[in-house]
Structure 1
Amino acid sequence: MENIIFGKDHEIFRTSLRKFLEKEAVPFFKTWEEEKCIPRTFWKKLGEQGYLCPWTDEKYGGFNADFLYSVIINEEMEKVGTGMSGIGLHNDIVIPYIDSFGSEVQKQRWITPSTSGKAITAIAMTEPGAGSDLSNIRTVADKDGDHFIINGEKSFITNGHSADIVVVACKTDPDAEPAYKGISLFVIEAGTQGFSKGKKLNKVGQHANDTCELIFEDVRVDRGHLLGKEGHGFYYLMEKLQQERLIVAINAIVAAERMLELTKEYTGQRKAFGHSISKFQNTQFKLAEMATEISIGRTYVDTLIKKHVKNEDVVTEVSMAKWWVTDLAKKVATECMQLHGGYGYMEEYEIARRYRDIAVTSIYAGTNEIMKTIIAKNMNL
């Protein structure tokens, strides 16, 4: 298929990144999964090579790269394993909030160490009692003169255990009507008194992607930690969710492509009744169906990438891609594991990890049910 997205410089960048990952990530990924964490030494290597937030301005350590470089990084990380997705979150979900809404002082303070690998970031929205319903968060930031005192708890926070810098959604006006107008964003640094991290959560999959709860007990910060304008947090979150959900769709389609590749290889080698099982009509039909749907998904995702690069409003289309592609990837995982037979259930086969890892993609960044609600709303139903 003709490549109508990436240019020569992009492909040179991809080749360089792929070689780097083959040397610095692939041989160690199984260990990272067991330790439930990607080591800081790897983050620093990423920073040294220019693979962290390359889209940022040169004065913060980036090289003003376009979004296609972020696409390449996310695609190549996903090929190693879905547990690498915390890096994409750092690059393309958390830092954009600081870059878009932060002051120059805040950018120098928090973006610069984030491009070098000295600082790891996270975003804290979800709470034990508030997931997709962000307006229902209970973490509060009460004013105390020129300071805010933050109390609350966040759950399921990707990069949470490693994070040095966390963008936290809080209620600065619990009585606001409607409720979402009372949300503000704060940047909290690890080591701040009253800010603690729970133990790493024991997830079904994506083990290398460290996840934990964050607790805020009378955390006192000055106004220099308020990101953007007070009461505008919800609007900031809505503005950035288009890119976050597009990143999820990109990772999911790459995961589906990888699972199909693994299964084609396995069925070509595995023999039953004197033949490779890829020769059986049922196997061929299953592979043909998956190849067709994955191709359709890839075409749609690539179209949205091009539109996003042009700063077009594709919230509805991205919502469509997020739910459809993640559902497709889950379906592909099930079919591919089935075609692996009993071996597909064994941990030493990559398809077993892929099967575990893909399930949560239909939940995070807004559940697929929420995606359909957004689509219906924008259809004026």
Structure 2
Amino acid sequence: MTLDLETREQLVATIRRFVDERLLPAEAEVAESDSIPDLIVEEMKELGLFGLSIPEEFGGLGLTMSEEAALIFEIGRAAPAFRSLFATNVGIGSQGLVIDGTPEQKAQYLPRIASGELIGSFALTEPDVGSDAGSVRTTALRDGDSYILNGTKRYITNAPLAGLFTVMARTDPAQKGAQGVSAFAVEAGLPGLSTGRPEKKMGQQGAHVCDVIFENCRVPASALIGGVEGMGFKTAMKVLDKGRLHIAAACVGLAERIMDDMMDYAVTRKQFGKPIADFQMLQVMFADSRAEAYAARAMVEDAARRRDAGESVATLASCAKMFASEMVGRVADRNVQVHGGAGYIREYRAEQLFRDARLFRIYEGTTQIQQGIIARTMAAEARARLGL
């Protein structure tokens, strides 16, 4: 349901206050402890952040893509670990069920995902499977009224906390490529399902990833999302445009926050008798950052509106994700440079945000994957125009 303008503005303002008053002051603690305080997690649940995209009938806010992006612009201003905690519930950890789940699966899981009672996690990547997602090796073989899962998933976001895994597994070993892959809703705690130790990462401390291991893990046949084999990869593809726009919005929010930090430092730091903000060579970096962040915001907003209107936006989502994730990396790098020696010191946060920003160019499809998608679409359009 689309919110009226006043309600939307009130919701955005509420999230902005939450970011300013609760999240930003907690960033250093989260980075140091690699953990988000329980009280903040509860406050995030109360605000409905875990159910932004889940339909109202299942306890979520049921936001449109445009509305979700408006909130993620705000949440994105804080260290990415905060958003990461609920992002899988909003995106790839729930949307497979929202789009293709059976009525029973939706009723069983979506209310608990929306409330934050269940943390959803999306298990696709494997030790030898990353960008080539159609090469999944984890197997799910039918055995009576169950499936037996075997395999290892790697770098799975929120896996240490997850109560429900959306697992991509090959149900037809004879079928090569994506056609033999199915999606399962697998509850944590089942015999044969275990998680590895949380990885130590370059950045985004407080957001946890680890391996998920299946060793003769028996799941009921009712766990097959949609009740149809061979649809898992198609289900995953359906949610990617939404996830990529969400990531792009987060990149915009982080870039805008970094620019605030950069300018606050530049107008107060003096060299040669005047603020460094007055030096023309630095002004080039300020202007480039502002223009690029504005362009990325406009891309997200345009693609989100088009998606809400029912248009296919797969290519536009790839454009937005590619541009925004590369953009925030450049802005974060400029921020370190503007801070000079202070930019390399943890106290100033510039180095932490530089490391945090780096991951955006990798997950939900690397920059190179987005470039391939965009280029193939352009070639197909050209052939269609020429009748080839």
Q: Which TM-score band applies after superposition, normalised by the shorter structure?
A: over 0.9
Whole-Å separation in 2 of the counterparts to 1:224 and 1:23: 44
Alignment match, 1:287: 286
Please report the TM-score for the alignment, with normalisation by the length of structure 1: 0.94
Aligned partner of 1:57 in structure 2 is 55
Identity of aligned residues (%): 31
Give the match for residue 194 of structure 1.
192
How many pairs does the alignment contain? 376
Q: Is the 8 A contact 1:44 1:118 kept in 2?
A: no
Q: How far apart, in 2, do the equivalents of 1:20 and 1:66 lie?
A: 21
**Residues 297 and 25 (structure 1), Cα distance of their counterparts in 2 relative to 1, 3 Å cut:** closer
Task: Report the counterpart of residue 144 of structure 1 in structure 2.
Answer: 143
Displacement after TM superposition at 1:280 (Å): 1.0
Shift of 1:109: 1.5
For residues 26-175 of structure 1, what are the structure 2 equivalents within 5 Å? 26-39=24-37, 41-86=39-84, 87-175=86-174
Matches within 5 A, 1:359-370: 359-370=358-369
* 1:240 CA displacement: 1.0
1:179-233: CA deviations, max 9, x gaps?
A: 1100000111111111111111100001111111111111101111111121011
- Partner Cα distance (1:120, 1:357) in 2: 22
Q: Is the deviation greater in 108-117 or in 226-235?
A: 108-117
Worse-superposed segment, 110-119 or 123-132: 110-119
Q: Distance in 2 between matches of 1:252 and 1:93?
A: 18
Q: Do the aligned residues in 2 keep the contact of 1:51 with 1:73 (CA within 8 Å)?
A: no
The whole-number CA distance in structure 2 between the counterparts of 1:133 and 1:171 is: 14
2:386 corresponds to: none
Deviation at 1:23, TM superposition (A): 4.4
Q: Partner letter of residue 29 of structure 1?
A: E
CA contact (8 A) 1:185 1:233 kept: yes
Please state how far the C-alpha of 1:31 moved relative to its aligned partner: 2.5
Alpha-carbon deviation of 1:6?
8.6
TM-score, normalised to structure 2's length? 0.92
User: Is the 2:69–2:300 contact (alpha carbons within 8 Å) kept by the matching residues of 1?
Assistant: no
Which residue is equivalent to 1:315? Answer: 314
Relative to structure 1, the CA distance from residue 89 to residue 75 in structure 2 (aligned partners, 3 Å threshold; closer, same or farther) is farther
SS in 2 for 1:204: coil
Q: Contact 2:126–2:136 at 8 Å: present in 1 too? A: yes
- What secondary structure sits across from 1:239 in the alignment? helix
Residue 243 (1) aligns with residue 231 (2): no
TM-superposed deviation, 1:40: 5.2
4+ residue segments displaced more than 4 Å: none
Alignment CA distance shift 1:119-1:307 (3 Å): same
Preserved contact between residue 53 and residue 92 of structure 1 (Cα < 8 Å): no
CA RMSD of aligned residues (A): 1.8
Structure 2 residues not aligned, in runs of 5+: 381-388
Shift of 1:25: 3.2
| Corresponding position of 1:226 | 224
Name the counterpart of 1:352: 351
Q: Distance in 2 between matches of 1:63 and 1:322?
A: 24
**Would the alpha carbon gap of residues 250 and 223 (structure 1) be closer, same or farther in structure 2, given more than 3 Å must change?**
same
Structure 2: how far apart are the matches of 1:323 and 1:284?
A: 25
Cα shift at 1:56? 2.7
CA contact (8 A) 1:165 1:190 kept: yes
- The equivalent of 1:208 in structure 2 is 206
Whole-Å Cα distance in 1 between the matches of residues 352 and 343 of structure 2?
9
Residue type of the alignment partner of 1:161: P
Contact 2:69 2:245 in 1 (8 A): no
